[in-house]
Structure 1
């Protein structure tokens, strides 16, 4: 019993010493594998990326630095209060990422824009090349900022619960435009009207959905409920959800 206790204390002691050595810089490790290191948004994600992404989204200076790493196209917008539970801080008007256009441009919080940029770089474009044979040149959306409550498809008391759209932390995605071929839409290509998945195009949408779950806090798609039959709802700041 005493031997087991000693072994446990030794393990915790060594772990604490290693943590202190890394945190103080006494023990140098590559930034990619340093949990206290800054996010390199353009680097290939690893097991520590989600920790660094969360930290970057919570700090405006880190967040805007990461947007530049991803070549996010945006213009600044002033902070705004538009009603109870509505408005935004550290937001921007986003028009694209690199050569990809966001149609139309939208107001997003920096953290939601960062999640979008990470999704585009590390999930969307790889999935498009694999399943569609060409990169995406545009993503079409149904809007982002709106001072409104959560839409469940059923009557709810006004002011019951604000949507993440009310703080510019959410965006609804309806279609993806590849460099070659017609646009991939949620309403037509998630499944056909007879319920059969579309070859190539449906797998792309499934991978796009799964990839969004890696970089956003909340992701809702057509399988969630009838309200989302034609779009992906992507948000930050709320409960973790991938539906």
Structure 2
């Protein structure tokens, strides 16, 4: 028993020493840790994914200045003053987003947090899927809206509850354009029998990694032509 206890104590000591060493290494002025592995470094959209990426993302999403800094590593945007149109509608940490990575998009006013999640999805979901399925890059992202002061819609009509679009905590993506000019829309691509269907399903699945709520054609008929992507929510992926 004493031998087992001694071994356990030694292992615990080694683990604690390794943990302390890792912390000291991360905070060292000239730390050799790659930025994507260093928890003291800010999120960079283009960095490879590691086990601490989500920690960095949550830290970047926590306030406007941190979000702007992270978003600038993977997107082109203008920061705008907050918009307040009513007690229920407006945009905090407002940006006008015009480009993500290699892809342009019709300038859209949204929350920085929504834009940052979109940038992460593009870099680590959309672009890799396009290269996998079509050996192409993405030149444009099609969207239908982000901010809209309205209630949630359902197949039975209005629900009486405000939509997350009312605070730009969501954005609707309807398709993409490949670098060769081909335009792929969710409406025609999702039910197709060619490479568009698995491509769009890969997009839906990867969106669930970066957004708190992802709704598409499998959710209901109102989403037949777009992905509803939400910064806030409880992890719904349909």
User: What's the TM-score, normalizing by structure 1?
Assistant: 0.84
**Partner residue in 2 for 1:120:** 122
2:88 paired residue number:
85
Number of aligned residue pairs: 234
Distance in 2 (alpha carbons) for counterparts of 1:69 and 1:131: 26
What are the within-5 Å matches in structure 2 for residues 35-184 of structure 1?
35-70=39-74, 72-102=75-105, 104-158=106-160, 160=161, 162-180=162-180, 182-184=182-184
Which range is displaced more, 10-19 or 210-219?
Answer: 10-19
1:15-73: per-residue Cα shift (whole Å, max 9, x none)?
666555545637x6724333444222211112221111111111222211112211x12
SS in 1 for 2:157: coil
CA distance in 1, matches of 2:133, 2:234: 30
Task: Give the 4+ runs in structure 1 shifted more than 4 A.
Answer: 1-24
Q: Is the 8 A contact 2:36 2:48 kept in 1?
A: no
Distance 1:4 1:225 in 2: 58
Separation (CA, whole Å) in 2 of partners of 1:167 and 1:11 = 50
- Looking at structure 2, the residues matched to 121 and 6 of structure 1 have their Cα atoms a distance apart, in angstroms, of 48
Contact 2:77 2:99 in 1 (8 A): yes
Q: What do you get for the CA RMSD once the two structures are aligned?
A: 2.7
Change (3 A) 1:4 1:235: farther
Using the alignment, how far apart are the partners of 2:221 and 2:8 within structure 1?
52
Residue 219 of structure 1 is matched in structure 2 by 214
Change (3 A) 1:123 1:8: same
Q: Judging changes above 3 Å, is the alpha-carbon distance between structure 1 residues 188 and 172 closer, same or farther for their aligned structure 2 residues?
A: same
Residues 1:57 and 1:202: Cα distance change in structure 2 (over 3 Å)? same
Q: Secondary structure at the match of 1:151?
A: strand
Q: 5+ residue gaps in structure 2?
A: none
